[in-house]
Amino acid sequence: MNNISKSVLFSLLLAFTTTSTFAADLLKKGADEKTGIRYSIEQGSDKLKITLEFSDKMQLARIVRNGFSVFIDEKGKNKQDKGLIVAGIVPQDKEELDDLRAGFFRDGTWKDGLGKEILVDLFLATPPFSAVYQSDSLKSTCTVNIPIEYISTKEIKDIKKLSIGFISNHKKPNGNKAEDNSSNSGFERRGRRGEGGMGGGEMRGNRGEIRGNNANVMTRGGIELWMEIENK
């Protein structure tokens, strides 16, 4: 893909993922004291949008390099069976260096909670997941879109308690090998393109309550942040 085409595609993806072109209901936003991260969770017609804003640019830099996971638990118990595992960006060639500079993640794996894994091309949104980041003089953010039909067969408003976890991968103190904070990431680096999945559905939710809980930590190596949506 030439630089002009990539630039146009990324501009469209960034606009869709991070701006008002994403018509959504804001479920809640807040800040987590332990990690220093501000967060928001919004629901569009067919996707859940999770945005994290980092107070320290180095937090985001480590996440971009090492990757992260976003887990979804319909029972609100912070389990890591279902979720999106996103590979970090360690440039091996000019194209991957362009990816790093442009601000988008490319490779991911979706774990469906039943033992099945789907390879995801986050840049082309096939299946329709996306993950981008942005770092400038004003703020450093990471935004992830997850199709609601992959999360649950229920509407969000009908799930009594939904927990959403953001867990960064991190380096072991004594080695070069990346260590995944999750129970089992199931990810191996793959080729430049993913494999298919289901199309987008349409579900609507209502306003809920999101709060950090005692599981939230920030260690020297990584971040674990859990948020909860409670519908009464």
pLDDT at residue 73 is higher than 80: yes
pLDDT, one tens digit per residue, over 182-195 is 433 333 444 443 33
| Mean pLDDT computed over every residue of the chain | 75
* Residue 46 identity (one-letter amino acid): D
Alpha helices in the chain (DSSP H): 3-18, 57-66, 94-102, 148-151
Beta strand ranges found along 63-160 (DSSP E): 67-73, 82-87, 107-112, 117-121, 130-135, 140-147
Q: How many domains does the chain have?
A: 1
pLDDT, one tens digit per residue, over 51-70 is 999 988 999 999 999 999 99
- Euclidean distance between CA atoms 162 and 171, whole angstroms: 29
Of the listed ranges 131-135, 150-154, 218-222, the one predicted with least confidence: 218-222
Residue 97's H or E segment, with its range, is helix 94-102
Residue 52 has, within 13 A of its CA and on its CB side, a CA count of 30
Domain that holds residue 54: 3-230
What is the band of 166 on the pLDDT scale with cuts at 50, 70, 90?
very high
Phi/psi at 77 (nearest 5 deg)? -105, 10
pLDDT at 211: 35
Whole-number CA gyration radius for the chain: 17
Of the listed ranges 30-39, 57-66, 125-134, 207-216, the one predicted with least confidence: 207-216
The DSSP symbol for 60 reads: H
* Residue 109 identity (one-letter amino acid): T
The DSSP symbol for 156 reads: G
Mean pLDDT on 172-191:
42
Q: In sequence order, what are the beta bridge partners of 163?
A: 73, 228
